[in-house]
Structure 1
């Protein structure tokens, strides 16, 4: 965001000075990074957060777990952890959110501090800064609020489950437990001064191609290859521009067949193949069109693939909306509050639209319009992931100012 009244600052040129609580927050971050907790296995993380906040002075009765895991297709050990705090001054309730789960690559990893970075201690494992860094930012902010280190309006802290497995915590959060927040920010990956205003929508598909088995050496003509059906369908999609990056009437989207499983022996005409695919677009109409084209390509391939008796293959196609797209106006109160929190800590905000799903997708869709900020995570979902501690410290200041309502 440019300003005519003062010179544009670089991300580092006017960063907030380290605060006394930063060292403790970094120690707590390392504790969180060392706790295993993939999607559906977040209970130890949730209990750790609750224990640390009770030690800071929070009343055990101010916490709640919802039943999001019982509504998720994955089940799980616990629902979302929610902490509600009354305000020390009047104002609209503010929500701060982060997700507790990590991708499988990070489960079992340990952090190691190297200068101004935190990196994985073991080769081949990820760090889990996505999103234990966000959890740590909320933990430090909530603890400071509990200790009355700053004045604030009513606050709700939400640590969600199963973000990495399809945003199920945010999708199934019990809204009645949140206290009707009117301003909301989600702390996830990326630079601490970047505000993500919107994100794409995603649709997930599970496809089965069903053929007819036969001995591939003696009578291959009696069979219908499920692998051939899948190959013909994917080729159709690629050749007609419906796989990969898709541009249609000035609108962009993506699709990908990312998983293919099938076949047990080279001497058998494979009769069943499982595939998983996705379609994404910020435009719901294009996303629906992509799904339609994928389904029709597989239907055509099945009808085209026949054996010597004229029998053809079949396709089973199921799908579900993973998350709907959203876009917040820069004048929305959640965005205005995020801008104030970043500017109040000495930086100029950068605006972003994401091509991946965020908890903010479902929170916004369910009536809690949410902006997303980063905490300094880099190379997430890889074994090369690292966390920038200067960015993490800046995120702490941003979260504290956001929670204060811009007055503390």
Structure 2
């Protein structure tokens, strides 16, 4: 049986360790010590050096005790702000923070579940194939740990990622690609009271472009949003520069490309109407994730759910995670819903039963 008290205590210990993105060294040290004391091989890559962090991703190798294909499990060590000085509160079977910070179940619940599942297998002498853990950095700030990981330290082809909301049994089979967009509009400055006709307002160009853009929900698989606008200073000068920061997401690459072309055309049309110049730049932050219907890891996990009486459901999600990056690197990936709720807010919580149910599921997946 999964040891509920041990699992809960591990989770509480983890959330009390400060680990904002780029500063996961203390939680990494905790996990390294814990796993080495259990006798496992632990390695840390140089992903932190590539993104300015104070540690790299932590990898653990667990030798096989029976025949079978290797399998990996992944969860991230960092949390969104505010996450300094988390005080967890357990009441009526629910864990939440005291209210001043996030809880950190995203994603320390995933870490605790993975470790407890393995501990259970070892205690009960349950056979398992070779297992790998990847505890990543900087997922919340752009999946920089996964992007810069040493893939040689994760040789298993199949990876189960514990990093989604939804009740235990939720299986994420699609997640969007995301494009980060920067639009810069250049006008011409002039005195707004004496010779405004000599100027071209960059703010006016931007406004014209935005007024014609299709935004927010575009279709069932595509979204776009403007996050920030900057430009101008004083009211007596025609603004000569304005910038817009935006994003577009889609689980369909064709739809994403179409939305990007549409947004750029709105910029070009605005310049043609108002004057001035524009620059439209974007970067694909992470690729589309699509789990194939025939995916062996999908069917394995669904069968494991059945074995322990959990109802499984396949869902798409609108957010990206390390799973997108791993998928883009050629891994066969499946993300599990672990029961965390209201993540990225100070109202975040998780039920103790979700911790134990998901740890039980992970243990079932680990079995040979």
- Measured against the shorter chain, the TM-score band is over 0.9
> Residues of 2 paired with 1:391 and 1:20: CA distance?
12
1:1-400 to structure 2, matched below 5 A, reads 19=1, 21-55=3-37, 57-59=38-40, 62-72=41-51, 75-123=52-100, 125-144=101-120, 149-179=125-155, 181-190=156-165, 191-237=167-213, 242-247=214-219, 252-305=221-274, 312-400=275-363
Could you tell me which runs of 5 or more consecutive residues in structure 2 were left unpaired when the two chains were aligned: none
Contact 1:53 1:143 in 2 (8 A): no
Compared CA separation, residues 314 and 23, structure 1 to 2 (3 A): same
In the TM superposition, residue 76 of structure 1 has moved relative to its aligned partner by: 1.7
Contact 2:68 2:129 in 1 (8 A): yes
In the TM superposition, residue 223 of structure 1 has moved relative to its aligned partner by: 2.5
In the TM superposition, residue 218 of structure 1 has moved relative to its aligned partner by: 3.3
Compared CA separation, residues 37 and 267, structure 1 to 2 (3 A): farther
Contact 2:99 2:347 in 1 (8 A): no
In the TM superposition, residue 158 of structure 1 has moved relative to its aligned partner by: 0.6
> Residues of 1 paired with 2:105 and 2:2: CA distance?
22
> Residues of 1 paired with 2:48 and 2:257: CA distance?
28
Contact 1:63 1:84 in 2 (8 A): yes
In the TM superposition, residue 20 of structure 1 has moved relative to its aligned partner by: 5.4
* 1:106 alignment partner, SS class: coil
In the TM superposition, residue 98 of structure 1 has moved relative to its aligned partner by: 0.7
Which residue does the alignment assign to 1:14? none
Provide TM-score, normalisation by structure 1: 0.84
Alignment root-mean-square deviation, CA: 2.0
Provide TM-score, normalisation by structure 2: 0.93
Contact 1:53 1:142 in 2 (8 A): no
In the TM superposition, residue 148 of structure 1 has moved relative to its aligned partner by: 7.0
In the TM superposition, residue 89 of structure 1 has moved relative to its aligned partner by: 0.7
In the TM superposition, residue 204 of structure 1 has moved relative to its aligned partner by: 1.1
* 1:82 alignment partner, SS class: strand
Could you tell me which runs of 5 or more consecutive residues in structure 1 were left unpaired when the two chains were aligned: 1-18, 306-311
In the TM superposition, residue 147 of structure 1 has moved relative to its aligned partner by: 5.9
Contact 2:174 2:316 in 1 (8 A): yes
> Residues of 1 paired with 2:336 and 2:192: CA distance?
56
In the TM superposition, residue 390 of structure 1 has moved relative to its aligned partner by: 0.8
In the TM superposition, residue 317 of structure 1 has moved relative to its aligned partner by: 2.4
Deviations 1:338-359 (A, max 9, x none): 1133222211211111121121
Contact 1:49 1:139 in 2 (8 A): no
Compared CA separation, residues 215 and 109, structure 1 to 2 (3 A): farther
Deviations 1:27-48 (A, max 9, x none): 1111111222222222222111
